Amino acid sequence: MKLKGVFLILVLCFLSVGTVSAANLTVNPGGSIQSVIDNASSNDTITVNDNNGSAYTYNENIVINKKLTLQAKSGGLVAIRTLDSSLPTVRVTSNGNGSVIKGFTIKGVTSPSAGILVDQCSKCTISGNNISNNYIGVQFQDSKNNTVFGNNLNAMIVEFMGILQIITS
């Protein structure tokens, strides 16, 4: 009888330990991408919406400090313009290893910084973005094993600075 009671307790404990799954979060026009990132959990997917089928520009600098997928709603109508032009529009920190950034128009960095800065990260994917009118398009700072494909990089302020890799160690 004691074994049945112990077994029942073990089964109940096992069932009460749920699995945690990634959430699908959205940002709508007028909302803050950074605010949603700050409240997201690692492995979540954040979809940034356009204005009901019309182009929409979010004006902010974004820091990704956990593994996330940050994607624009399909259609190429979502832009992120840097709020502080001396900072990267999107910066992925070392805690953001494995993050994905896809489908955005990213613009507006005029000082020695990048539209997207991948800072001490690995296994990040940058794909399907239109990156233009930035000092540097995409910069990898002390980062390795990242993937970049299907992006359009043009009209960089510094000629030949579409993608920059800097290794300091």
Residue 130 in any domain: the answer is yes
Give the Cα separation of 48 and 137 in Å (integer). Answer: 21
Residue in the structure block whose two tokens are 């299907």: 150
**b/e map of 135-161 (b: 16 or more CB within 10 Å)?**
bbbbbbbebeebebeebebeebeeeeb
User: Which pLDDT belongs to residue 110?
Assistant: 82
**b/e map of 54-91 (b: 16 or more CB within 10 Å)?**
eebebeebbbbebbbbbbbbeebbbbbbbeeeebbbbb
User: Which pLDDT belongs to residue 140?
Assistant: 94
Q: Per-residue pLDDT tens for 70-119?
A: 999 977 899 999 999 889 999 999 999 999 999 999 998 888 889 999 99
**Rama region for 128: left / alpha / beta (φ>0; ψ in -120 to 50; rest):** left
pLDDT at 3 over 60: no
Closest CA to 104 of 76, 123, 84: 76
Residue 9 in any domain: the answer is no
User: Which pLDDT belongs to residue 21?
Assistant: 81
Give the Cα separation of 62 and 71 in Å (integer). Answer: 13
Q: Per-residue pLDDT tens for 44-80?
A: 999 999 999 999 999 999 999 999 999 999 778 999 9
Q: Per-residue pLDDT tens for 109-167?
A: 888 889 999 999 999 999 999 998 888 889 999 999 999 999 998 866 665 577 778 87
For residue 78, give both structure tokens: 């979502």
Residue 14 in any domain: the answer is no
Residue 136 in any domain: the answer is yes
Residue 17 in any domain: the answer is no
Residue 160 in any domain: the answer is yes
Maximum CA extent, the chain: 79
| Domain span including residue 43 | 22-166
Residue 144 in any domain: the answer is yes
Q: Give the global pTM.
A: 0.85
Domain count along the chain = 1
Q: What sign has the CA pseudo-torsion 113, 116, 63, 57?
A: positive
Residue 78 in any domain: the answer is yes
